[in-house]
Every structure is written in structure tokens, then in C-alpha cells.
Chain A
Amino acid sequence: MTIMETRKHGDAADGMVGGRFSRLDGRLKTTGGATYALEQPVKNVVHAVLVQSTIAAGRVVAVDTEAAKAAPGILSIFTPEDDLGLLVASDWHGNRPENEPFRPLPRQISFNGQAITAVVAETLEQATEAAKLVKVSYEEAQPVTSLDDPNAGEGRLVDMLTVGWGDAEAAYAAADVRIEAEYRTPREYHVPIEPHGLTAKWEGEFLTVWEPSQWTHGMARTYAEWFGIPYENVRIVSPFIGGGFGSKAMGYTYGAVAAAAARKLGRPVKLAVTRPQTFTAYGGRAATKQTIRIGATKDGVLQAIVHRGASETSVFADFPEQTGAATPLLYAVPNLSTQHRLVPVNTVTPGALRAPGKNPSAFGIESAIEELAYAVGIDPLELRLRNYADHDYQSGKPWSTRQLREALTVGADVFGWSGRSHEPRSMRDGRQLVGWGIGCGTFPVLKAASEALIRILGDGSVEVVSGAIDMGQGTYTILAQTAAEVLGVPAERVDVKLGDSSLPGATVAGGSMLAGALTGAVHKAATAARDELIGLALNDSNSPFRDTGANTLVISGGRISVPRGEGPSLTLAELMSAIGRDRIETQRNTLPEGANGPEDHKRSWTTMANIQGPTAGDLSMHSWCAHFVEVKVDEDFGTVRVSHVVSAFDCGRIYNPKLAESQWRGGIIMGIGQALLEEGLVDERFGRVINNNMGDYLVPTNADIPHIQVISVGVPDYDASVLGGKGVGEVGIVGVAPAIANAVFHATGKRVRDLPITLEKLI
């Protein structure tokens, strides 16, 4: 792999870490050489295809496999009749029920699209066609299909999500200006371009799984527990992941089915989840609703926020999409109350989709805040600045760093916000109405320990090794930069190996925490390697530096020398040769000294139990952003097109601006899809998502996206991470949808409070 060094002048960031390096894995990805999970060549492999339920509630009475079995090439068919001998695995936090059987193909039906049978055949085509011949008879029950289902009820209050201070109800009642509205978001889906799937292969009691994974160690634990084998016996291999966005962090039932089938058949099994099946093989973002009441003075100074939200979950597991997650953080408000309810419906258990909680929460509060701006007649930018939170009102702690004011003012300046005319419907471009809107976003800094191995090789090149993953965030590249900086070698001399649970431990690539965790571990391991190398250079009897009298050495540009240039200067390869070493290897982790045993490792790499939240210390640590959006609306047709976006971000120090900008834009584009296009359409009669494909569940095309200008206004935050960065990947989507809804209101005078803003809502 080669890094093309193309630093451009004028970047705020400088040095190896902070440089605009192109992706280390760019050549592989542009030549077809990057090999994703289902592309690993595995000999003697057979193909499994899932059959999913077509009812949402009830039970499987019988599965008629006669016709399918008679089809050519069929090796086996697994149905609810088959006990695959599995046990329930731990949840994210490492909690696990004792010896509870796990039936990935259950008889009980809890949602439409639940896996109930798997057909295994010699070829993909044979398995696919035979799966259509499987006939399932059901005993149907009445499903609850959505938050609006009369039988859904108001749900269960989630106590740990109840937040409050002051007396919000009283302050609201007493406020001069009061607004109240309900905001809703539909089911949304990750839609990574690489569909899910895996190849599972057993060698005795050892299982290898090639599966796209945001968390190789966590998934290895899950497979090990399912099959009752030691964690060390499972290897998850995932060098490249074709997009995850939160959907590839966990083992799912189809993985258990494929691995169980492989064990039963004694042959490797490949199971590719079809695109339509991906809509129910794992959960997308839950549908949400939230009511927000804001009380303020006539000058727009906030007095109270009362928030009541709810999200759907499955009938068998809880996943709260926390509608109140951003509500307490964005503004200075003396009285606040938020509550969140969980409403069980017959759906697959929802999951984490880019900025879970924060995203729908920001849609509510950032829409409401602009509703207030119009109610009091104050510019929405001014209103936000007027209510700027100088500390975290929820925890009472000071911010570590919060450049949100700079994001708002710099963003406004670049966007040209001062040219805005406040009245709705007052700006036009020919026939089209023009509207401008703002949306702020936030995402917490989560901290986790990780581990890395550094090898300095005899030829002077360096290897960085970790079980962490790169799904496009740029892990390969920034770890090379980190090691290169510490070890004083050019980045192209660094090779990075990732994506394998047999490699050193790493936390999940989720919660925007991987970069902070891994750069910390690589920095530590590389520093140790450098110290060891310098120690050898000073002390080894064959080292030319031994007699220089220097007490330290410097490494720069791949050469090691005495400070201030007096004395010998060797390439690393020459030094390694001189001291007779073919490698120097250091492995380090960022766990605390007293908690660094094998059990601590397992707990840290394979569960989320040790992850620290944003206020675990004395400070409150978050990433921040402000989006400025222009839309053009053809009022006759109700069509909205985003025509201009400027977004300013405080994500602390940026390790590689080129890659960070790409992630920010990606989040913004997903937010544009969320605002204008994306919605799982549920047929209420059957509880089935009927637009379960990429032609009907619309994500933005190239033609939907204008040039998006992204700006970093962050400063290094060394409380947040070793190298000063805060999370980059998730915050970008937070606040985009309300910015667009606000711009649509400004353009048209119509306030759309339920996403997406499709054309029928505006005509």
C-alpha cells in the first residue's frame, strides 16, 4: 500500500498527524483489490439462503420443505424444528443469562421478515430458488405495527432517560411565549452498499468467520458464546467493510444460522443476506415521536423546555432511540424536563444508526428552537447565540471544549447569513421559493481502551497491527500517520494490518470513539518502540551511536541521528542491521495500570461495559456542529432541493482533514436523505416494510447533492483523547434534518414536523 503525499498549502493542520494524506487503502479500493467478507476465497464452500416470515405475529405451524428438498443441489434445510444447539450470548454490556437456549430460527413470530428457515445448496442459484419453494403455514396473531397502532399504547417510561432540573412545567406555564409541537421521524435504514452476510468455516472446534464487522472482538465473543467454545477459538476476519453506519457491530441471527449450518454440514457456508432481507435481518433506526414545549421571554430567552418522547422497539428486546438525548445539551435553560418511552411493536429490534438518539432528538429541539425564533421575531442565529450554554446544564460541569459559538458565527459568515430576509416566503429564485435554515448538532465523546502492536522491521519499515477496523472512516490512514509521526518515518513506510479478532484488542467502531481510542494505543506502542530502538542504539555494542556520548537520539525522515547533527546518521535499516535485529516489537494498551489482566482485556475488547461517557470525569466533552442550509422549493410540485450547505464543526484536533471532511459530508448527505427521502413504509395490515429495496427506499443520488462546504473550528481537546481529537463520524448528521425543515419553513411558510419532507406534504 502506498500513500500519495499531497499536502496542500494553507491547511490549518500541519505535521504528520493532521496532514491531508490520501487513503492508505486507496489503491486497493480503486483497483478492485480490496477484498470484502464475502469475497474471501474459501474452498468447498456451499451457499445458504434465508427464508423470512411474511406475517408479523403468531407462530410457525409447519414448514413444508418437500418441494425445496427435491430441487437440485440441496444439501440441507434448517427450520424451527431443528435445534441448532446454541446458547444466548451476552448483550453489549457483557450481561448474559445462564444457559439459555438460542433459537435463531424460532417458531414464535415477532415481526414480519423474521428469519425462520435456511436452505443450503451447492450453488447460490440453487439455494436461492429452492428457498422460494419452502411453504410455511402460520397461526396468525394480531400484530401491533407502529407507534400509531391503537393497540400500541403509550409505552413504558425508561427511567434512566428521565432528565430534569428546575421546575419545567411551572416555568413553562408562567412563560410569556409558549410553543408546543410534535415532531416525528419514521423508520430509517442504514443501507450500506455492501449487504450483510458471512462465510463461516469450522476446523475442529475452531471457527473462522469472514463477516463485515465494526467490532471483530465483540463479534468473536458473540459467536464463541453461541457455540459454547472458548473466545480464542473464534476468528472474525474483516479487513474491509462496505459501510456499516452502526449496522455491523453485532452478530445477528443469520450469522448463527450460517455458522451452525457449517458445523452440521462439515463444509464452509456462505450466507449472503439479500438486499430486501437486510431491511429486517437487523434493525434500522426506530420510528420516533416527541412533543416539545418551550417557554421563553419575549426576547427569546429560554425559560423552560418540556420534552416527552417515544420510540418503537421490538416486542422482545429494548432499544431506546433516545429522543431526549440532545435536548438538554444545546441551550442554556434554567428549567428542563425530558422523558422517553419505549413502545413495543412487531418489528425487528431497532439498532444504532449514525448518531442514535442525538439525531432524532436534534430534529425535535432544533426545529422547535426555530419555531420559537419565528414566534418571537428574532433571527434564528441570534436566538441561538442569545441562549448559548456556557456550561453543561445537565451535569453542571464545564465543557472541555465547546466551539459551537464559533461554529455558528463562522458558519454564518461563510454562508452569508447576514443576507437573509427573515420573513417566510420572502426569498425567491425565479419561480422557486428559497429558504435558509440552521441546525446545530452534538455528539458525546466516548472513551474506551484499546491495544496496538508496533513492529519496526529490519528494512526500516513499520507495521501497525490491531484488530480494529476501517469501514471508510480512515483508520488505516490515521494509524499510519500516528506511527509515522512518533517513529520519524515517512508515512509510506508504515503498513497497517487491521480487521481480525486474532490481532490486538480494540473497542467497537461506533460512538465515534475508535479514532481516539486507537490513535492513543498506537501512540503509546509506537513511543515504546521508539524508546526501545533508541535504547538499543545507545547501548548495543555494535551500534555506531554507542560511543557518541549522546543520551538520546532523534529519528526523522527515516534516519536516526544525534541531536544537533553531530555524529553518525543512519537509516533505520542500517541501524537494525548494525545491531543485528530483524524486528523490534512492542504491544501496548491504554487500560489503567491496576486493571490490565486477561479478564480486563476481554471485558474491554469484547463488551462496552468499560466505555466512559462524556461526563465521566470533571468535564463535559462533546463534538459540536452548526449546519447552514439553503433549499429551493418548487411550490407547485412540492419538490425540495438542497442548493447550498455550509457546516462548521468542532471535533477537536483533526488527524487528517481530507478524511474528516469526507466523513462530515457523508453525515450531511445522509441527513439530506433523512430529511427529504428516507422512510420505511409499513403496510399496517401486515406490519411489513414494503419498500425494502434501493429503488423504493430512496437514498440520495449524486444529483441530489450540491457542493457542501465543511469547516473545522475545533481546537485540540487533550481531555477528550491523547492526540486531542473528538469524534468525527456521527456528529455530521446531527442537525441536518432540522436545518432543512427550518429552511423549508423559511421558504414556504409551511412547517413540516414529520420526516421525510416529501412532495405531498408541501403541495
Chain B
Amino acid sequence: MRDFSYFRAASTEEASRATLDAGTMLLAGGTTLLDLAKCGVFEPDTLVDITHLAGLGDITVDANGATIGALAKMEEVADHPGVKAAFPAVAQSLSLAASPQLRNMATVGGNLLQRTRCPYFRDPGAFPACNKRNPGSGCSAIGGVTRNHAVLGTSRACIAVNPGDLAVALVAFDAYVEMGRRRVAIEDFYMLPGETPDWETVLKKGEIITGISIPASMAAKNSTYLKVRDRQSYEFAAASAAVGIEFEADGQTVRDIRVALGGVATKPWRARTVEQALVGTVLNVDAVEKASRLSMEDAVSHGGNRYKIELAPRVVARAILTMGGLA
């Protein structure tokens, strides 16, 4: 890691102000920051430790929804009875992520900002070309080993997959990212790579994520997070789906359905076409499978990741069928 100074922020305001300095990064759980600093991707001059800030770690769940402080640890949220009851997909997305040790360290605020696992991004010594790291330098991944790259939301500048699990669940349930003076719907928080893949979120210099709020909904309460991967545990998703369904009083007609995808897109991906195809219908296996395939209408393969186009709709379908009692 490059030589840096280390300070503990005395207040949220001080932490926010610190980010105005280009060489300064905020240190929370450290699981992304220190990892990428070791890789040589991050080269901060100053780290401002925010983990001691008071009042940013609370988790509250009531009839209106959940508010989760940015410094709450992933494991604390995953284990929170209120979150588990009102937002099972959110709790599951966390407990299926990383490892217990990492979940004890990583904060939910930091988790929203975790960076891609693209091996070309993570190895600046071997692959100088990376538009995400070094705008305009090119993309080493295109034409390379792309087994774990995105099939949705890619551009000619970048095909790196967003590796998150929590953010996928949050996107499904219309959560907001709280940034002190403003809040942004999480779907809008993340940006497509386009020509500027280095710019991943709308978080500005001088801003700090203070928390997440998730509105309560029947769909969120009746939800699941399904994560498929080669290894049983401690691996990023090959494809994942967060699904929540609210049924009409008849118990079978879909009143509200939420579908989001992970492991396949450049940002946490809401699959609205799938939702629209199924809302107002009574679920059956064929219709669900057909609708799930709509999620891949715009998918683009880069060779090694072609399987994701086949796999992801099956993950979506299974999650929907599970929530519909048809799996």
C-alpha cells in the first residue's frame, strides 16, 4: 500500500469535507479499500477512519420500513430480527455474501460502494488498460477471459460486473441511499458505465453515505434472494435474483412483483419487463419462465459469459416460482 496518513473523523461533517481532497478516502470496514490499496488500484494519501462516528450504525425497523445506518455491519443487518421479518431478501442477500469475518467488518454503506471483481481492473501492474481505473486507457477485459463479466448494461468501454448482493435486494424494493442533505433512489444511485465507467455512482465529492432506507411493502415481506455459484459458499454470484411478490386477496393473482438481478450486470439490475409481464396474472410455470427470459432481452455476450444469459432467467424463474409456491 502507498504510504498514507490516518485520521479518525470527529464528525460526519468533517468526514464529508475530507472527501473534497482528491487524495483522501474514507475508511469504514476496509474490506474493499485495503484490498484494492494492496492491489495498487487505490492510492490514497490520507485515510479518514469513520467507524467511530456515533449514530451511523443504528438499525430501525417499523411499519413504514427500515432505516439502516451506513456504519451498520453486514452481519448485524443480516441477523436483525426486524430486517429478517420485513425484508427477508435483504437479510439473505447479506448472509449469502462474503464470509462471517468479512460481514463482521464490512459496513452496509461501504458495501454499496464495493468495486468490481474484474481481474483486469484489480491488476494494474499487468493490465494498464482499464477505463474504470484510468479513463481512456481502454478495456483489457474485452477479448479476454470474460466468464464473470456482465451481459447487461455493458458498453464498449467497460463490461465489469457489479458484484453486490445487498444492492440487488435494495434495488428490488425501491430503497433509498441517504446522503445527509439528499437521498437518491438506489436504482438511480448507480450509473451505467457508458463512456465513463470510472464514475460508478452519483455520490459527489463532499458527500457521505449516511444510511439506507427501505420502504415497507408486502412484496418485500414476501421475498427471497437466490444466489447461484460454483462454490457453495464464499463466492460472488454467477447469477442471483431478488424477488418479492404481493398477491391479491385471492392468494394467487399477482398484485405487485419485484425482480432484480445480480452477478450479470454492470449495476444492480431491476428487471421491470419481467415484473410487467407477470403483474395481474396468476402464476404458472410456463408463464414465469417465459417472463423471466425477458430479463435478458438486451443481453450481450462476450464469449465466456454467454452462459449467464441462459442461467440468469432460470435463477429469476426459480425465485419467482419459490415465492409463488410453485417450485
Contacts and interface: CB of A to CB of B under 8 A. Distances in A.
Query: A–B direct touch, CB within 8 Å, in complex?
Result: yes
Contact residues of A: prevailing secondary structure? loop
Contact of B232 (A683, A686, A704, A763): A704
A695 B99 CA distance: 11
B228 interface: yes
Nearest to B234: A701
A398 interface: no
B123 interface: yes
Contacts of A682: 145
B235 A637 contact: no
Interface stretch (B7-15, B170-178, B186-194, B311-319): B311-319
B318 A636 contact: yes
Contacts of B147: 681, 760
Interface string A683-709: 101101011000110101111100000
Contact of A641 (B119, B232, B238, B310): B232
Interface in A400-432: 431
B63 interface: no
A760 B125 CA distance: 30
Contacts of A760: 147, 306-307, 311
Interface string B108-120: 0000000001011
Contact of A695 (B117, B230, B310): B117
B1 A128 contact: yes
Interface in B75-120: 117, 119-120
Contacts of B314: 636-637, 763
Contact of A129 (B2, B235, B238): B2
Nearest to A129: B2
A685 B144 contact: yes
Contact of B125 (A132, A636, A695, A702): A132
A701 B238 contact: no
Contacts of A639: 228-230
A688 B232 CA distance: 27
A676 B2 CA distance: 38
Contact of A759 (B40, B127, B145, B228): B228
Interface in B293-325: 306-307, 310-311, 314-315, 317-318
B232 A691 contact: no
A395 interface: no
A700 B119 contact: no
B228 A54 contact: no
Interface string A735-763: 00000000000000000000000111001
A759 B1 contact: no
A346 B81 CA distance: 55
B284 to A, nearest CB: 17
B230 A701 contact: no
A58 interface: no
B228 A701 contact: no
Contacts of B117: 695-696
A690 B119 contact: yes
Nearest to A642: B232
Contacts of A128: 1
B181 interface: no
Contacts of B238: 759
B126 interface: yes
Interface in A654-703: 676-677, 681-683, 685-686, 688, 690-691, 695-696, 698, 700-703
B39 to A, nearest CB: 9
A334 interface: no
A128 B40 CA distance: 10
A642 to B, nearest CB: 10
Contacts of A230: none
B286 interface: no
A431 B314 CA distance: 14
A690 B232 CA distance: 22
B204 interface: no
A129 B3 CA distance: 8
Contact of A704 (B40, B120, B233, B311): B233
A760 B238 CA distance: 10
B327 interface: yes
Contacts of A636: 314, 317-318
B126 A54 contact: yes
B4 to A, nearest CB: 10
B231 interface: yes
Contact of A701 (B119, B143, B233, B307): B233
Nearest to B236: A695
A641 B232 CA distance: 8
B41 to A, nearest CB: 11
B1 to A, nearest CB: 7
Contacts of B120: 690
A683 B230 contact: no
B231 A637 contact: no
A678 B100 CA distance: 23
A18 interface: no
Given A125-B1, A128-B1, A703 B232 contact: yes
Contact of B230 (A676, A702, A703): A676
A72 interface: yes
Given A683-B145, A703-B232, A758-B230, A638 B311 contact: yes
A763 B231 contact: no
Contacts of B228: 637, 639, 759
A639 B314 CA distance: 12
A431 B327 contact: yes
Contact of A763 (B234, B235, B307, B318): B307
Contacts of A431: 327
Given A688-B126, A691-B119, A700 B311 contact: no
Contacts of B317: 636
A683 B144 contact: yes
A129 B40 CA distance: 9
B35 to A, nearest CB: 9
Contacts of A763: 307, 310-311, 314
Nearest to A637: B228
User: Which 3 residue pairs are nearest across A and B when measured between Cβ atoms?
Assistant: A760-B307, A703-B233, A703-B232
13 contacts: A132-B125, A276-B123, A637-B228, A637-B311, A637-B315, A637-B318, A639-B229, A677-B231, A681-B147, A683-B145, A695-B235, A701-B232, A701-B234
Given A132-B125, A683-B145, A686-B126, 15 more contacts: A54-B127, A72-B3, A112-B126, A128-B1, A132-B40, A637-B311, A682-B145, A688-B126, A690-B123, A696-B119, A698-B231, A701-B231, A704-B231, A759-B311, A760-B147
